[in-house]
């Protein structure tokens, strides 16, 4: 039986590390000299195989969830990473997003965990999407595989996002991502699973008050020809919608893990996070 937790976390970690040396490198440059394996140094002057905040925060979440779902515990572990370099490969945190930093500073000052995440439209970086995956395994341990109709499951996803990113758009991106991931675990046809996960999540959000204005930001994902969009129309920035689109587009246009994550990294831009999410 496949160990989905190990496979998911290790897959995220490897993709993150592939992207770290070339973060912010332009797509045109990577087209001339694409990433094909682990590189050393580069953007952050780190040894080959070094993972970044994407993996560190994912491991924080895994570590906390091994006990129970406790939002204060998750934030305490994030703080250990942020302030003391816990959960990092070399004892030092780097590549930390502004919205995440501000949320952890609020927590340190005594703000309730679920109120720490930024709630403005400018707080929609990919910092909660990049580390949300472990909540899938926790939720499936409670509710089984059918998460897409369960309000409590989406509430937990939204809460885990809101620890650092509290805007509805970030929460919705995390919900769509977990919906797709839950379908992929069923080992169905990949493309059918991806679109089923997207449509199930979008139908859920259409019924939810508070998300009406956010639906338009994810409409491209629902189109039958999304897979066929040219790479030029796929943005690989740190904006949460761009990251989600890029990761799903790479998944739909490749046939295996290696090709998927290398394709994601070689889109350039926020390479480590697009790779990790993919």
Task: Tell me which H or E stretch contains 198.
Answer: helix 190-206
| pLDDT at 261 exceeding the cut of 80 | yes
Q: What is the pLDDT of residue 28?
A: 97
Residue 146's region, left for phi above 0, alpha for psi from -120 to 50, else beta, is beta
The whole-angstrom separation of Cα 97 and Cα 99 is 6
Q: What is the pLDDT of residues 45-63, one digit of tens each?
A: 999 999 999 999 999 999 9
The whole-angstrom separation of Cα 262 and Cα 265 is 5
| pLDDT at 188 exceeding the cut of 90 | no
Say how many C-beta atoms besides its own lie within 10 A of residue 86's C-beta.
Answer: 17
| pLDDT at 43 exceeding the cut of 80 | yes
The percent of residues above 90 in pLDDT, for the chain, comes to: 94
Cα separation values, 227 from 110, 248, 249, Å: 45, 8, 6
| pLDDT at 1 exceeding the cut of 60 | no
Q: What is the pLDDT of residue 239?
A: 98
* Residue 175 confidence class, pLDDT cut points 50, 70, 90: very high
Q: What is the pLDDT of residue 148?
A: 78
Q: What is the pLDDT of residue 83?
A: 96
The whole-angstrom separation of Cα 243 and Cα 150 is 25
The whole-angstrom separation of Cα 264 and Cα 266 is 5
| pLDDT at 64 exceeding the cut of 70 | yes
How many residues make up the chain in this entry?
Answer: 278
Class of domain 4-277: mainly alpha
* Residue 126 confidence class, pLDDT cut points 50, 70, 90: very high
The whole-angstrom separation of Cα 134 and Cα 212 is 27
Q: What is the pLDDT of residue 193?
A: 94
Report angle CA 153, 170, 219 to the nearest 5 degrees: 95
pLDDT (average), residues 159-179 = 98
Sign of CA dihedral 160, 164, 167, 170: negative
The whole-angstrom separation of Cα 83 and Cα 4 is 30
Q: What is the pLDDT of residue 145?
A: 74
* Residue 36 confidence class, pLDDT cut points 50, 70, 90: very high
| pLDDT at 185 exceeding the cut of 90 | no
Q: What is the pLDDT of residue 272?
A: 98
Per the prediction, the chain carries an average pLDDT of 96
Residue 207 CA from chain centroid, whole number: 24
Residue extents of the structural domains in the chain: 4-277
Q: What is the pLDDT of residue 257?
A: 97
| pLDDT at 176 exceeding the cut of 80 | yes
pLDDT (average), residues 63-83 = 97
Closest CA to 24 of 260, 237, 253, 250: 237
pTM of the model: 0.97
């Amino acid at each position: 039986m496949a160990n989905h937790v190990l496979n998911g976390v290790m897959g995220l970690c490897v993709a993150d590390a592939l992207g770290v040396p070339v973060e912010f490198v332009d797509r045109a440059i990577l087209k001339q000299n694409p990433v094909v394996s682990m590189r050393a140094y580069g953007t952050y002057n780190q040894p080959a195989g070094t993972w970044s905040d994407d993996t560190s925060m994912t491991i924080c979440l895994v570590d906390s969830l091994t006990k129970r779902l406790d939002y204060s515990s998750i934030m305490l572990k994030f703080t250990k990473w942020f302030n003391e370099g816990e959960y990092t490969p070399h004892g030092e945190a780097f590549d930390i997003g502004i919205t995440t930093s501000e949320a952890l500073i609020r927590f340190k000052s005594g703000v309730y965990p679920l109120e720490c995440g930024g709630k403005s439209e400018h707080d929609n970086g990919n910092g909660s999407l990049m580390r949300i995956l472990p909540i899938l395994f926790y939720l499936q341990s409670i509710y089984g595989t059918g998460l897409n109709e369960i309000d409590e499951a989406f509430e937990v996803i939204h809460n885990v996002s809101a620890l650092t990113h509290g805007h509805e758009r970030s929460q919705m991106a995390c919900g769509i991502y977990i919906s797709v991931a839950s379908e992929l675990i069923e080992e169905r046809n990949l493309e059918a699973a991806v679109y089923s996960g997207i449509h199930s999540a979008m139908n859920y959000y259409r019924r939810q008050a508070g998300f009406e204005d956010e639906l338009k930001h994810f409409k491209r994902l629902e189109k039958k020809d999304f897979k066929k969009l040219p790479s030029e129309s796929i943005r690989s920035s740190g904006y949460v919608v761009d990251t989600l689109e890029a990761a799903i587009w790479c998944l739909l246009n490749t046939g295996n893990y290696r090709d998927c994550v290398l394709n994601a990294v070689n889109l350039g831009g926020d390479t480590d996070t697009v790779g990790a999410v993919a």
